[in-house]
Amino acid sequence: MLGGGAAGATAAKLLAAWGHTVSLIARPPAEARLAVSLPPSTQKLFDVIGAAAAVERAAFMRSTGNTVWWGRQEPRVEPFADHALGWQVPLQVLEEVLLTEAAAAGVSIERRAIVEADMATRDGRFLVDATGRSGVLARAHGVRVYDENPRTVALAASWTRAGGWPVPDDSHTLIESYDSGWAWSVPTGPNTRHIAVMVDPQRSGLRRDAPARDVYEAEIAKTSNFRRLVTSAKCTAGPWGWDASTYRATAYAGDYWLLAGDAGSFIDPLSSAGVKKALASGWLAAVAVHTSLVNPGLRAQALGFFAEREQEVARHYARMSRLFLAEAAPTHPHAFWRDRSDAPDAPAEPDVAAVRQAFEQLRAAAQIRLTEGNVTIESRPMVRGNQIVLEPVIIGDGAAVRYIAGVDVITLRAMAPRFAQVPDLYERYCRECGEIPLPDFLMALATSVARRWLVSQ
């Protein structure tokens, strides 16, 4: 395992817990210079990884949501749904927590620089590149590709303000668009925040080799709300700078090697999902490697499944970031936004009207008479526990579907013709497949009828 960040530590811990011998090379401990925001949905990954208790012991600051000034002067306060809580964490501290968990699982960890000999693959042993932007294996294989968007540089500094910050909720991540870039801030303590600006290195003072501090202060001065926030605050450290340009890989896996986390692709920080993506990538890399080792006959399918998922994740976040950037662009007539604001086609929406009509028909019917529709079913790779297996899926409209709203539509399709009442069908499904919320079950049933996987007689 190369790299001890979120992806590498996650993959290493899981593989060791599943009985494999794992060696990991990580850089020496570094000062915590970057705070990141994790959404509440990250809890599911902490649970799957087995790190939930360790994260709780770390007592990271909890967050209730975001406050944004995006293409507008009025704040948009966005609390997390259902009063859920996210985390505000120093990234290096989180990585050390995960590495400690990996060591406890039996991972052998070396804290040193990676050398060329470390990148040699051996028959029967997997090499996972989780070195982030360094992407030592990605670069060695020539699969790193930068996106066509202009390059972006992040400049961040730590600020302290006595008495807290004048914002709707001091636990929130703050985001503001301004004429030549955008800024974000994450709290690191009761009175401290990391404040960063995202700038185009070719359209700012960085191009003229101006000191980073001067460029940073000049960018903060262009903002409206962040400028007000720092008026009575003190910059205590920084700014630090790093390349925040997005990239992807032309291949995410090959014979006995994989690219996990940021080694494979880097998504726009606008998503606030970089660490969550890395954790998920590390988990799936571990599943793919474990499957390949315990069931060599599925190695090609397991690695292909991992690569396809990583490609789709990169595409998804790229699409969402472009849409978000395009939302603010009309307010800011500057090249920074003009170069980044080509709105892509909107993601395809499901046929909401057809699903709603099917739902109303099912609800109005005194009894249901459903038969299996004429669909194509093929075996495709899917994750089951800690392995990738081949299971039947419904093929249609270029997509392979097994679950809708958590409901197994293959099982539902086979079961439905035996019942004349929806409540009876729901009860039997829950008995055989596990409890599922009724609204989710009805959504899956109505979708199956709307797409003619089930035909109403």
Do 50 and 101 contact (CB within 8 A), yes or no?
yes
| pLDDT given at position 344 | 47
Instruction: Return the closest-CA partner of residue 453 out of 401, 418, 405.
Output: 401
User: Which domains does the chain show, CATH number per domain?
Assistant: 6-338 (3.50.50.60), 352-456 (no CATH)
Q: Which two tokens stand for residue 245?
A: 């340009």
Q: How many CA atoms lie within 13 A of 60 on its CB side?
A: 28
CA distance 22 to 33: 28
- Hey, which bits of 98-206 come out as E strands? 108-111, 127-129, 144-146, 153-160, 173-178, 181-187, 192-199
| pLDDT given at position 318 | 86
Strand 65-69 versus strand 173-178 pairing type: parallel
Q: Which two tokens stand for residue 423?
A: 């409540």
Cα Rg for the chain, rounded, in angstroms?
24
- Cβ-Cβ contacts under 8 Å for 44 (sequence gap 6 or more): none
| pLDDT given at position 3 | 95
> What type of residue sits at position 324?
F
The torsion defined by the Cα of 291, 293, 295 and 298, in degrees rounded to 10, comes to 60
| pLDDT given at position 339 | 77
- Cβ-Cβ contacts under 8 Å for 416 (sequence gap 6 or more): 368, 370, 425, 445, 448, 454
The torsion defined by the Cα of 98, 238, 232 and 79, in degrees rounded to 10, comes to -30
Instruction: Return the closest-CA partner of residue 258 out of 279, 237, 239, 282.
Output: 282
CA distance 400 to 397: 8
- Cβ-Cβ contacts under 8 Å for 439 (sequence gap 6 or more): 405
Instruction: Return the closest-CA partner of residue 12 out of 93, 108, 94.
Output: 108
Q: Which residue has the tokens 């599922």?
A: 436
Q: List C-alpha distances in Å: 315 to 198, 228, 319, 339, 399.
A: 21, 36, 6, 19, 15
Show pLDDT as tens, one digit a residue, over the chain (457 residues).
Answer: 999 999 999 999 999 999 999 999 999 887 767 899 999 999 999 999 999 999 999 999 999 999 999 998 899 999 999 999 999 999 999 999 999 999 999 999 999 999 999 998 777 789 999 999 999 999 999 999 998 878 899 999 999 999 889 998 999 999 999 998 999 999 999 899 999 999 888 877 666 677 889 999 999 999 999 999 999 999 999 899 989 999 999 999 998 999 999 999 999 888 888 999 999 999 999 999 999 999 999 999 999 999 999 999 998 888 888 888 888 888 888 888 877 766 444 444 557 889 999 999 998 999 999 999 999 999 999 999 999 999 999 997 767 889 998 899 999 999 999 999 999 999 999 999 999 899 999 999 999 999 999 998 8
